[in-house]
Amino acid sequence: MIELSCEKCVLCGSPEIKAGSKVRQRRLTDLRFSVSGVKRWVVLYCTRRYSCAACGRHFLPEGWPKYKGYFGDKLAVWCVYQNFVCRQTMWQVSESLEELFSIRFPRKGRQAYLFKNRLIPRYESLHEELKQHILKSPVLCIDESDVTLRKTKGYVWVFTAHDAVWYLYKDTRSGEFLKELLAGYSGVLVSDFYNAYDGTDCPQQKCLLHLLRDVNDDLKKNPYDEEFKSIASQFGVVLRRIIDTIDRYGLKRWYLHKHKRQAEAFLSDVDDRTFSSELALTYQKRLKKVGSKLFAFLDYDGVPWNNNGAEHAVKSFMKFKRTSDGLFSERSLTEALVMLSILETCKLNCVKRLRFLLSGKTDLASILGD
């Protein structure tokens, strides 16, 4: 039992306060975490309602639970962690709580969902902070994935920097919003070959891994197309030499820039040749269209030649949506993306996700260690 009292007004600081005659009580069921484990923790809070003669207002002492209900914050954190990180449905989380800690909710799934409503709004400012941090980063990787809602379909867009992840929901795959979102962005945009990204006014690097996959797939389907095989062979030689340099020295312009002449020669040679093969002509047009965006990373420090950062973040979302695809409303999905952004950023920076949620911190510096 915890008895709460105070000696001055928590609103104006005046010592002229008076306690009411009625004793208020609230029993709070929570979890208590220690180095060796976690256990159920039940606390009975007791206090009186105070009135202040100076400001005329009524108040309760500091330490009194601010939210309504009978379940604590750490229990809420545990449920949200199990749902987002351990990929359990809220119904499964409720059942495990009953088996492990003998904590039974009046309405199993509903109560667990209310924990989301309690916790997620606290991180909305951090979600916005992530957005601003990524839009100021020198490298921005972007990708998108479809998602099924209850009554419609939409798309989740993923924006990543080397140390942050930011998810955004849109009801369409059209990239028109990118022009406004990325207006003034001066870093390098890394993406796949989806043409929605071409309208952005910033340096771009197309994912060479996507191109390499396409080339390998077409080689398997067309093993006797000599003209296409010559294009694939030239591309392979150029890319292998670049990757050998990256393996030795990393993504440093000082070492990578020496490959620029060979890369430009490859693009120029493919553009100047005359092909009769339909597949070779298709790749000739494709390489001519993207041109310098294939090897832009040779002119910068720290720009990757693939879009793995965004693709990994997309895979994390796809794992999460397996338990809820088709059950989302637009509101619930938008709220879920706030929490996913924070948890994926923690993972990217090797920050223990459960520990961060339990800490109650809501600033980006706590994750990045600034």
Give the distance from CA 269 to its chain's centroid. Answer: 41
Is a pLDDT exceeding 80 seen at residue 112? no
Q: Are strands 38-52 and 17-33 parallel, antiparallel or unpaired?
A: antiparallel
Nearest to 45 by CA among 63, 59, 33: 63
Q: What is the 3-state secondary structure (H, E, C) of 135-180?
A: HCCCEEEEEEEEEEECCCEEEEEEEEECCEEEEEEECCCCCHHHHH
Alpha-carbon distance of 325 to 115, in angstroms, equals 20
pLDDT of residue 312: 95
Residue 72 DSSP symbol: -
pLDDT digits (tens, 9 = 90+) for 41-61: 998 988 888 888 888 888 888
Amino acid identity for residue 47 in this structure: T
CB under 8 Å, gap of 24 or more: what pairs does 198-203 form? 199/175, 203/296, 203/300
Least confident of 14-23, 31-40, 263-272: 14-23
Residue 370 is predicted with a pLDDT of 64
- Supply the pTM of this predicted model: 0.88
Q: Characterize the bridge pairing of strands 2-3 and 38-52.
A: parallel
Task: Note whether 141 and 191 are within 8 A (CB).
Answer: yes
Mean pLDDT of 114-125: 91
User: Which SS3 state, helix, strand or coil, does residue 60 take?
Assistant: coil
> Cβ–Cβ contacts within 10 Å for residue 340, how many?
24
Instruction: Tell me if residue 238 falls in helix, strand or coil.
Output: helix
Give residue-wise pLDDT tens across range 275-324.
999 999 999 999 999 988 999 999 999 999 999 999 999 999 999 988 77
Task: Give the pLDDT confidence of 138-190 residue by residue, as tens digits.
Answer: 999 999 999 999 888 999 999 999 999 999 999 988 888 998 999 889 899 99
Which residues are CB-contacts of 82 (< 8 A; sequence separation ≥ 6)?
88, 92, 93, 96
Query: How far apart (Å, rounded) are the C-alpha atoms in residues 157 and 165?
Result: 11
Nearest residue to 262 (alpha-carbon basis) of 224, 287, 230, 295: 295
What percent of the chain lies above the pLDDT cut of 90? 65
Query: Where are the alpha helices (H) located in the chain, listed in sequence order?
Result: 73-84, 90-101, 108-119, 124-135, 176-181, 208-221, 226-249, 253-256, 260-272, 278-290, 308-321, 330-348, 353-359, 365-368
- Tokens 């009769």 belong to 276
Helix or strand run (H / E) with residue 361: none
Residue 17 scores a pLDDT above 70: yes
Tell me the C-alpha distance between 18 and 176, whole Å.
60
pLDDT at 69 over 80: no
Task: Give per-residue pLDDT as tens, 321-345.
Answer: 887 777 788 999 999 999 999 999 9
Report the relative pairing of strands 58-59 and 153-161 from DSSP bridges. Answer: unpaired
Cα–Cα–Cα angle for 358, 363, 365, rounded to 5 degrees: 105
Per-residue pLDDT, averaged over 210-224, amounts to: 95
Q: Which amino acid is at 327?
A: L
Do 145 and 318 contact (CB within 8 A), yes or no? yes
Say if strands 153-161 and 139-148 run parallel, antiparallel, or are unpaired.
antiparallel
Domain extent listing, the chain: 2-120, 123-202+308-368, 208-299
